[in-house]
Amino acid sequence: MKALIKAFSHVYPMAKRWLKRFPGGVYPDYRKGLSARHPLQKAPLPDELILPLQQHVGAPAIPTVEPGQRVRKYEQIAKSAPGLSVPLHAPTSGTIKAIEKRPLPHPSGLPDWCIVIEPDGQDEAGEMPIAIRTPDCPASLKEMIWQAGIVGMGGAGFPSWRKLPDEHGKIHTLLVNGAECEPYITCDDLLMQTRPQEIIAGAVTTAKCLGAERIIVGIEDNKPQALEAMRKAASGTGVEIQAVPTVYPMGGQKQLTEQLTGVEIPAKAHAVDVGMVMFNVATLAAIHRAAEHHEPLISRLVTVSGEGLAEPMNVDTLIGTPFKALVKLAKPKNELNYPLIMGGPMMGHEVMDHKVPVIKTTNCILANPPEPVEPAMPCIRCGECMDACPVNLLPQQMYWHAHAHEWDKVEKLHLFDCIECGCCSFVCPSHIPLVQYYRHAKGEIRKLREQQAFQEHARRRHEAHLARLEREKAEKEARLKAKKEAVKKQTTAAEQEKSAVPSARQRAIEAARKRAQQAAADTPSTEDKRKAAMEAARKRAQAKAGQTAPAAPETAQDKKKAAMEAAKRRAAQLKAQKATQKETNRTEPKTDPAKSGETPSAEDRRKAAMEAARKRAQQLKAKKTTENITDDSVPQTAAATPEDRRKATMEAAKRRAILLKAQNTQQTRSEAPQTESAASTPETDSAKSGETPSIEDRRKAAMEAARKRAAALRARKANSTEQESDT
């Protein structure tokens, strides 16, 4: 069947696609014979070796040497950075000439940090940096590969230790990539021809550590010598050698996996996810040298080819050798005034400086003189790019959206599944550089993702800041609330304790109230005094009526003496009452509001003032009643005429009125402080308390006093009239 398809392909070239399992693919002019017909050569030692710190995917290595320091072969000169990185070793002995920025074999052409070694020609070897002698498990294998600084040598440059799982038995099939589908490149072909035992031994060691049951080597059928050498080396080892169709890009990981096993790796997945892992033949040879000879990765095979070279070849060169030195070894046909290409014509890129060094991922240096470039024309929608895509994408639609900078739409068309093989650009009749559009779109989308990640990080930080402020505010409010609750509890406890024990002011008020009640009980009431006066008048009347002989007529001189005597007795009695009142006021306990710390209310002051006024009225009434009784006790002569008695009575009334007025005036002046004291009971002085009785309180007290004085005056007049009638 394959022979029939090959015969039919001469009539219909695209019939070759029926021989493979994956879609798409192209058939360029491989031109591999230019370099494959020459034997492998050893590159001479250059004047200086330039070792970039960034030779792999991930973080660059960190220098461990200084300028002027002498190093030996295999010595570590840069340690691995944290994360995805590998160390760097000296390819030969020499002196560290400089650590500076030099141009790199990168599409940007920008310089980066490099360690420059000036070889001394002695090639003196130092201690081997690989501590693990014989790996026997995935962990030890990964450690050994990491210490040796081995990366993917097929061109990807991914650190090989990162591709391996940690569990034994997770990988059931080890795939070996010997397809080498890129035109002009033959370094892997020469490696399989010259060192097949190293490749097979490295594959067996790796499979044994991982627990893989199968080892499959895929080699394109356009390399018959390599197939024969590999089959001979794999005899008796259980390694399967399969010839695969010669089609580009057969060397792609997903394409070769599907061709060898029939398993299609899903999008956004890796071979390890389906229980398989793939290594390039050069990578397995480096693993064997690290496991058996404990050598780090310091050299590799490089194809130096192109239409501009007279003797294309494959050379075994040290890492760090400048491109210019290797190209001169291949004898350029003309002056190299055009850019060299690192890699093949399909996926390689131009380097702007011929002095850029060979790195761990350099598999080919291509010197093709520039050809006329066909100008890009509008897309004719032929669909050839879609038929050639080995990943089943829609290159035409992706091109339209990338050209319009519609990054979201081009990403939805699975842009990142594109392997940038260049098949679409190769078959495009309009000569549109489709791959360049896709690379640019990927770069822009990565920038947008970085910006979005930065914005998301800033948003989370801002939200965390706001949450922290809210939390601090809530904590502060909680602390204040707890403090207020504590103060409130303390105040409540103090008030309860204070209410349980009566204050000094309350005790003083209670004592004053009891004294007032006792004084009121000891002082005869007005009714009692009135009854006593009437009883005394009755007795006097009875005594007068019972006299048998009238007394001698009283002369005017006797009346005057009797009146003066009565006035003296009243003055003495008034003086005694004042003395008694002063003694009472002095002996009564007084409470100082300033000392007690409390202020009596207006109601308490009003009640105290009314009580004091009531006491004064009672005392005044009792005094006047006593005076009436005294006046009535003056002997009256029977011989006095009615006119004389009337005059005497009027004279006595005038004297009593004058005396009463004087007494009231004097008592008002002397009792004013007592009234204020009584009105502010249990306080001592209203001025000290800071308060003054209201006008209403003073008016009521004055009216009450006037009412009592009027009642007393009426009582005196009634007594006088009664005496006159008795006489």
Residue 393: closest CA among 414, 362, 368, 365: 414
SS3 77: strand
Q: Between vectors from CA 216 to CA 417 and to CA 21, what angle results, nearest 5°?
A: 45
* C-alpha dihedral (352, 358, 364, 368), degrees to nearest 10: 30
CA distance readout (Å), 130 to 16, 461, 615: 47, 44, 120
More confident residue, 468 or 17: 468
- Using an 8 Å Cβ cutoff, are 300 and 360 in contact? yes
Q: Residue 606: its pLDDT value, please? A: 78
Residue with tokens 């006021």: 585
Average pLDDT, integer, range 432-441: 93
Residue 385 CA to residue 382 CA, distance in Å, equals: 8
Residues 672 and 614 in one domain: yes
The mean pLDDT value of the chain amounts to 83
Which residues lie below 8 Å from residue 46, measured CB to CB, with a gap of 6+?
119, 318, 320, 321, 322, 325
- % the chain with pLDDT above 70: 82
| DSSP per-residue string spanning 398-434 | HHHHHHTT-HHHHHHTTGGG-----HHHHH-TT---H
Residues in the chain: 727
Residues 649 and 518 in one domain: yes
Lowest model confidence (mean pLDDT) among 287-291, 480-484, 571-575 = 571-575
Lowest model confidence (mean pLDDT) among 84-93, 366-375, 515-524 = 515-524
Residues 386 and 528 in one domain: no
| Residue 175: count of CB within 10 angstroms of its CB | 22
| Percentages of the chain per state (helix, strand, coil), in multiples of 5 | 50, 10, 35
SS3 549: coil
Q: Residue 171: its pLDDT value, please? A: 93
Lowest model confidence (mean pLDDT) among 509-518, 590-599, 604-613, 617-626 = 590-599
Q: Residue 722: its pLDDT value, please? A: 61
Query: pLDDT confidence of 288, banded at 50, 70, 90?
Result: very high
| Side-chain-side CA neighbours of residue 394 (13 Å) | 12
- Of 8-12, 133-137, 344-348, give the range with the top mean pLDDT: 344-348
Average pLDDT, integer, range 646-673: 67
Residues 496 and 390 in one domain: yes
Q: Residue 140: its pLDDT value, please? A: 92
Q: Which two tokens stand for residue 33?
A: 């014979």
pLDDT tens-digit series, residues 215-232:
999 999 999 999 999 999
The residue out of 483, 501, 519 marking a domain boundary is 501
Instruction: Indicate whether 509 pLDDT > 60.
Output: yes
Instruction: Indicate whether 1 pLDDT > 70.
Output: no
Instruction: Indicate whether 352 pLDDT > 60.
Output: yes
Average pLDDT, integer, range 170-184: 93
The residue out of 501, 523, 556 marking a domain boundary is 501
Lowest model confidence (mean pLDDT) among 111-125, 278-292, 442-456, 677-691 = 677-691
Q: Residue 512: its pLDDT value, please? A: 85
**Does residue 326 fall inside a structural domain?**
no
Which residues lie below 8 Å from residue 316, measured CB to CB, with a gap of 6+?
40, 41, 42, 43, 299, 300, 301
Instruction: Indicate whether 273 pLDDT > 50.
Output: yes
Average pLDDT, integer, range 453-472: 94
Average pLDDT, integer, range 577-590: 59
Residues 446 and 525 in one domain: no
- DSSP run (H or E) holding 266: none
- Using an 8 Å Cβ cutoff, are 330 and 367 in contact? yes
pLDDT tens-digit series, residues 391-410:
999 999 999 999 999 999 99
Q: Residue 677: its pLDDT value, please? A: 42
Long-range contacts of 519-525 (CB under 8 A, 24+ apart): 519/584, 519/615, 520/615, 523/615, 523/618, 523/619, 523/622, 524/622, 525/618
**Does residue 528 fall inside a structural domain?**
yes
**Does residue 491 fall inside a structural domain?**
yes
Which residues lie below 8 Å from residue 628, measured CB to CB, with a gap of 6+?
533, 715, 716, 719, 720
Q: How many domains are contained in the chain?
A: 2
Query: pLDDT confidence of 627, banded at 50, 70, 90?
Result: low
Residues 578 and 493 in one domain: no
Q: Residue 687: its pLDDT value, please? A: 39
Residue 306 CA to residue 400 CA, distance in Å, equals: 34
Q: Residue 590: its pLDDT value, please? A: 44
- Of 448-462, 507-521, 566-580, 600-614, give the range with the top mean pLDDT: 448-462
Whichever domain contains 487, its CATH number is 1.10.1060
Helix axes 138-148, 281-292, angle to 10 degrees: 100
Average pLDDT, integer, range 18-26: 85
Residue 391 CA to residue 159 CA, distance in Å, equals: 25
Q: Residue 684: its pLDDT value, please? A: 40
Query: pLDDT confidence of 597, banded at 50, 70, 90?
Result: very low
Residue with tokens 């790199």: 104
- Using an 8 Å Cβ cutoff, are 231 and 213 in contact? no
- Using an 8 Å Cβ cutoff, are 422 and 390 in contact? no
| Side-chain-side CA neighbours of residue 117 (13 Å) | 32
**Does residue 112 fall inside a structural domain?**
no
User: At 51, phi and psi to the nearest 5?
Assistant: -115, 100
Q: Between vectors from CA 531 to CA 525 and to CA 536, what angle results, nearest 5°?
A: 125
**Does residue 18 fall inside a structural domain?**
no
Q: Residue 398: its pLDDT value, please? A: 95
CA distance readout (Å), 656 to 621, 649, 669: 14, 10, 20
Q: Residue 633: its pLDDT value, please? A: 43
Q: Between vectors from CA 557 to CA 552 and to CA 560, what angle results, nearest 5°?
A: 110
- Using an 8 Å Cβ cutoff, are 246 and 181 in contact? yes
pLDDT tens-digit series, residues 53-75:
999 888 999 999 999 999 999 99
| DSSP per-residue string spanning 155-180 | TT--BHHHHS-SSTTS--EEEEEE--
- Looking at residue 469, its amino acid is L
Residue 17 CA to residue 260 CA, distance in Å, equals: 16
Print the domain residue range for 675.
Answer: 510-534+574-582+600-635+644-726
* C-alpha dihedral (556, 560, 562, 564), degrees to nearest 10: 180
Residue 517: closest CA among 585, 611, 620: 611
Q: Residue 548: its pLDDT value, please? A: 44
Residues 443 and 521 in one domain: no
Q: How far is CA 427 from the centre of its chain?
A: 55
Q: Kind of pairing, strands 276-280 and 173-178?
A: parallel
Instruction: Indicate whether 287 pLDDT > 90.
Output: yes
Average pLDDT, integer, range 161-174: 91
Q: Residue 693: its pLDDT value, please? A: 58
SS3 270: coil
Q: Between vectors from CA 700 to CA 661 and to CA 519, what angle results, nearest 5°?
A: 75
Instruction: Indicate whether 417 pLDDT > 60.
Output: yes
Residue 405 CA to residue 442 CA, distance in Å, equals: 11
Query: pLDDT confidence of 574, banded at 50, 70, 90?
Result: confident
Residues 516 and 661 in one domain: yes
Instruction: Indicate whether 525 pLDDT > 70.
Output: no
- Using an 8 Å Cβ cutoff, are 332 and 322 in contact? no
CA distance readout (Å), 534 to 128, 475, 631, 713, 715: 145, 86, 14, 16, 11
Residues 463 and 526 in one domain: no
User: Distance between terminal CA atoms of the chain?
Assistant: 177
Residue 272 CA to residue 167 CA, distance in Å, equals: 12
The residue out of 481, 501, 521 marking a domain boundary is 501
Q: Residue 586: its pLDDT value, please? A: 55
Residues 481 and 619 in one domain: no
Instruction: Indicate whether 595 pLDDT > 50.
Output: no
Query: pLDDT confidence of 703, banded at 50, 70, 90?
Result: confident
Lowest model confidence (mean pLDDT) among 15-24, 147-156, 676-685, 694-703 = 676-685
**Does residue 264 fall inside a structural domain?**
no
Q: Residue 690: its pLDDT value, please? A: 42
Instruction: Indicate whether 322 pLDDT > 80.
Output: yes
**Does residue 539 fall inside a structural domain?**
no
Q: Which two tokens stand for residue 32?
A: 């591999």
Residues 404 and 464 in one domain: yes
**Does residue 625 fall inside a structural domain?**
yes
Instruction: Indicate whether 569 pLDDT > 70.
Output: yes
Instruction: Indicate whether 634 pLDDT > 90.
Output: no
pLDDT tens-digit series, residues 249-261:
999 999 999 999 9
Lowest model confidence (mean pLDDT) among 269-273, 314-318, 443-447, 527-531 = 527-531
β-pair partners for 115:
51, 99
Residues 434 and 527 in one domain: no
Q: Which two tokens stand for residue 589?
A: 């306990």
Residue 292 CA to residue 622 CA, distance in Å, equals: 140
Query: pLDDT confidence of 377, banded at 50, 70, 90?
Result: very high
Going through 201-246 in order, the beta strands assigned E by DSSP cover 214-220, 240-244
Q: How far is CA 482 from the centre of its chain?
A: 25
Compute the Cα dihedral for 205, 210, 211, 216 and give only its sign: negative
For 697-715, give the secondary structure using H, E and C: HHHHHHHHHHHHHHHHHHH
- Using an 8 Å Cβ cutoff, are 631 and 706 in contact? no
Query: pLDDT confidence of 553, banded at 50, 70, 90?
Result: very low
| Residue 648: count of CB within 10 angstroms of its CB | 21
